[in-house]
A = this chain, B = another copy of it.
Amino acid sequence: MNDNSITILEGDCLALLKDVASDSIDFIFTSPPYADARKKIYGGVSPEKYVDWFLPISKELLRVLKPSGTFLLNIKEKVVDGERNTYVIDLIQSLRAQGFLWTEEFIWHKKNAFPGKWSNRFRDAWERLLQFNKQRQFAMYQDTVMIHRQESTARRCDQYDPQLRLQIKSQTGSNFSNNMSAWSGREMVYPSNVLYLAVETCNRRHCAVFPERLPRWFIKLFTQENDVVLDPFCGSGTTGVVCKRLGRRFLGMEIMPEYAALAKERIFSIEKKLLE
Judge if A86 is at the interface, Cβ distance under 8 Å.
yes
Say which residue of B81, B101, B160 sits within 8 Å of A195 (CB atoms).
B160
A45 to chain B minimum Cβ distance, whole angstroms, is 20
Q: Please state if A194 and B109 are interface contacts (CB–CB under 8 Å).
A: yes
Would you list which residues of chain A between 138 and 180 have a CB under 8 Å from chain B?
A: 138, 140, 142, 147-148, 150-153, 157-162, 165, 169
Q: Please state if B89 and A93 are interface contacts (CB–CB under 8 Å).
A: yes
Chain A residues bordering chain B, tally (CB within 8 A): 63
Chain A interface mostly: mixed
Judge if A105 is at the interface, Cβ distance under 8 Å.
yes
Say which residue of B121, B125, B160 sits within 8 Å of A213 (CB atoms).
B160
Would you list which residues of chain A between 108 and 145 have a CB under 8 Å from chain B?
A: 109-113, 115-117, 119-126, 136-138, 140, 142
Q: Which residues of B contact A82 (CB under 8 A)?
A: 101, 103, 136
Which residue from chain B places its CB closest to the CB of A81 in the assembled complex? B136
Segment from A7-15, A185-193, A235-243, A254-262 that makes contact with B = A185-193
